[in-house]
Structure 1
């Protein structure tokens, strides 16, 4: 954004400079050319006036020769022609008598008027001597256009310097403006990224940039403060509920154990059923608390070696799989990694493997497959058990959403919360040949290394 603002302002300044400098340069060039031509015509008329005193009034040619000398001293060439087109006086240089000058003299004598031409880097002026209807001669003045070109070059040089100075000023202005607007926005963006990574205490600076950016930073800080309060409040509630529910359940289970020790066989059977229900209730409470923690937690991602975690969880669940007669295997390419919250992948795999081992009968297979795809880590937990119906798959990620669940119905809900909290996706598919496949995609993103 900063670059776009700077380039936009710089382009605008460049266009304004071009629209201002180029027309001004053209105007000044035309003015210099007009001034140079007018000066040459005035000098030619002055020469014609001095020559007229000699040709018409038969006065001495002293004044005419003085004007010729002054013209040569100014760097010009001049000549005076009589009515027959013969040069009667001229400067030492021959420019005013050669080239196209004779043709100009003939034209002016035939039709008395001042004729001006510019060619080969010279300006030639032919002015009639005498009356406008009956010329007695022609005064020709030739001047080099080099002084004019030098003045025009100086004009364009100054204009170019002004343009460059204006462009540099525009660059400084655009950079300052871009930083003034972009830096606070970048800080808000960085604060938002840190907030998303779990730094609930982060806030954006509010004292820099335009009013709209300051208002955005203040709004972000308000939102961040409320989120921090909600998350901390949620965590406090979870801790309180965990303590308040687990303590009486543990006390109740202890009392039932004491009663079962001294009870007769029939009463002991009833008490064993009650203990099973308490154990089920304990698992249900643990599952609800796990879901609540997954929903309220804001993971701080670190780089997790997915291949190592898969190998560890396979090794941890292998004894239970062997006991139930289920073949458990896993495969991940070496070095496969993903940015995840610490411990989240272990919890996800534990829930998926527990569900799979509960669903697959003896002789079945469960395998965990990992692969890399476009910078992301992909995991598949595949089993050949009874699978799930379409209706069950559609609601399996909701709390108690799976009507076919044999346990608490919270395992897949925990998996879904943990995966989505880390920016990934989870979906359920049928396994070819029967069974259920859980596919997990963890998006690739920068993960700061934490200690």
Structure 2
């Protein structure tokens, strides 16, 4: 943004300078040319007057000769022609009498006005001598245009200097203006990004920049403070509920265990049922706490080798699967790398494998597969957890990702809700499909490592540029 503001102001200053300097330069150039031509015509007119006294009044040519000598001393050339076009007098240089001036002499004799012509670096002026009705000759003056060109160059040089100075000042002003506006906005942007990453105590500086930007920063800080209070309050409630529920549940379980040790008959059966209920309540509390942590989590993605994590979790769950006579297997070709928060992929797989093991009967199979994601999702990897259990009805699949939304759930009903929250928080998707031949397939689409970042699994991505 800073660069765009600076370039915009600089472009505006450049346009204004061009519109002001170029027309002024053209005007001053025309003025210099007009002044130079007028001076030359005046000198030629003076020479013509002196020549008329000699040609018409037959006075001595002293004045005419003096003017010719002065012209020569000034670096010019001059000549006086009679009515027949013959040279009467001239300076030592022959420029005023060469073939190029003959046409001007003829034009001056035919017309009652002075004729001027610029050719290269010289200006030639031909002035009729005598009355318009009775011309007795022509005075020709040839002057070098180098002084004119030098003055024009000086004019354009000063204008160029003024333009450069104006451009430099415009650049300085535009950069300072852009920074004055852009830096506070960048600070607000950085604070918003950090807030989105979970730094709830971050605040944006509200003491610099334009008034509108300061108001924006103040509004952001108010929002951040309220968000921090809400999140901290929610976390405090979660922690309090965890403490208040776990302690009495643990105490109740210990008392039931003591009673069950001496119970017999129907009392033992009732106590065993009570112990199962206590265990279910403990699992429910643990699930609620895990769901709350998943909802409050703000992942900071890092590159993670999917095949390594899948192999690790398969190995961890294999004893449980073997005890329940369920076959666990995986297939992750190409050693894919996904871009998710540290530990999130492990939690996703643990919840999915736990759900699948609860659903699949003895002798069943659970398979974990990985493949490139569909083109509609973008660059990434598709992770599938496939089981051949009883599956889900369409009604149950429609609400399976909500907390306690699956009426057919055998566990706490929170596993798939945690999976959906973690997948979407990492920029992925989660959906349920029927398994060919019966069962349920959970499909996760996880993002790939963005371009321009080093793919070092387990470490934060580093820009390559």
TM normalised by structure 1 equals 0.93
2:324 aligned with 1:324, yes or no? yes
Residues 234 and 296, structure 1, Cα contact 8 Å, conserved in 2 = no
Counterpart in 2 of 1:128? 128
In 2, Cα distance between equivalents of 1:220 and 1:22: 48
In 2, Cα distance between equivalents of 1:353 and 1:398: 18
Counterpart in 2 of 1:382? 386
In 2, Cα distance between equivalents of 1:435 and 1:179: 60
Counterpart in 1 of 2:435? 431
In 1, Cα distance between equivalents of 2:267 and 2:293: 39
How far does residue 147 in structure 1 lie from its aligned partner after superposition?
2.2
The 3-state SS of whatever aligns with 2:438 is coil
Identify which of 415, 418, 421 aligns with 2:419.
415
2:431 aligned with 1:441, yes or no? no
In 2, Cα distance between equivalents of 1:326 and 1:298: 35
In 1, Cα distance between equivalents of 2:244 and 2:37: 105
In 2, Cα distance between equivalents of 1:74 and 1:99: 23
Q: Which deviates further from its counterpart, 315-324 or 191-200?
A: 191-200
In 2, Cα distance between equivalents of 1:372 and 1:165: 59
Q: Which deviates further from its counterpart, 302-311 or 43-52?
A: 302-311
Aligned residue runs from structure 1 range 25-104, under 5 A: 25-104=25-104
Q: Which deviates further from its counterpart, 116-125 or 82-91?
A: 116-125
Aligned residue runs from structure 1 range 212-223, under 5 A: 212-223=212-223
The 3-state SS of whatever aligns with 1:57 is coil
In 2, Cα distance between equivalents of 1:119 and 1:415: 89
In 1, Cα distance between equivalents of 2:171 and 2:333: 51
In 2, Cα distance between equivalents of 1:100 and 1:17: 43
How far does residue 241 in structure 1 lie from its aligned partner after superposition?
0.3
How far does residue 319 in structure 1 lie from its aligned partner after superposition?
0.9
2:396 aligned with 1:392, yes or no? yes
How far does residue 44 in structure 1 lie from its aligned partner after superposition?
0.6
How far does residue 420 in structure 1 lie from its aligned partner after superposition?
2.5
Counterpart in 2 of 1:2? 2
Counterpart in 1 of 2:228? 228
The 3-state SS of whatever aligns with 2:215 is helix
Aligned residue runs from structure 1 range 8-407, under 5 A: 8-332=8-332, 336-371=336-371, 376-407=380-411
How far does residue 205 in structure 1 lie from its aligned partner after superposition?
1.8
The 3-state SS of whatever aligns with 2:141 is strand
In 2, Cα distance between equivalents of 1:194 and 1:315: 37
In 2, Cα distance between equivalents of 1:317 and 1:377: 23
How far does residue 92 in structure 1 lie from its aligned partner after superposition?
0.8
In 2, Cα distance between equivalents of 1:303 and 1:208: 38
The 3-state SS of whatever aligns with 1:409 is coil
Residues 112 and 134, structure 1, Cα contact 8 Å, conserved in 2 = no
Structure 2 segments unaligned to the other structure (5+ residues): none
Instruction: Say if 1:262 and 1:388 are closer, same or farther in 2 by CA, change over 3 A.
Output: same
Instruction: Say if 1:298 and 1:107 are closer, same or farther in 2 by CA, change over 3 A.
Output: closer
Structure 1 segments unaligned to the other structure (5+ residues): none
Q: Which deviates further from its counterpart, 393-402 or 209-218?
A: 209-218
In 1, Cα distance between equivalents of 2:347 and 2:118: 92
How far does residue 381 in structure 1 lie from its aligned partner after superposition?
1.7
The 3-state SS of whatever aligns with 1:3 is helix
How far does residue 19 in structure 1 lie from its aligned partner after superposition?
0.9
In 1, Cα distance between equivalents of 2:232 and 2:358: 35
RMSD: 2.3
**Aligned residues between the structures:** 450
Instruction: Say if 1:307 and 1:208 are closer, same or farther in 2 by CA, change over 3 A.
Output: farther
How far does residue 125 in structure 1 lie from its aligned partner after superposition?
1.0
How far does residue 140 in structure 1 lie from its aligned partner after superposition?
0.8
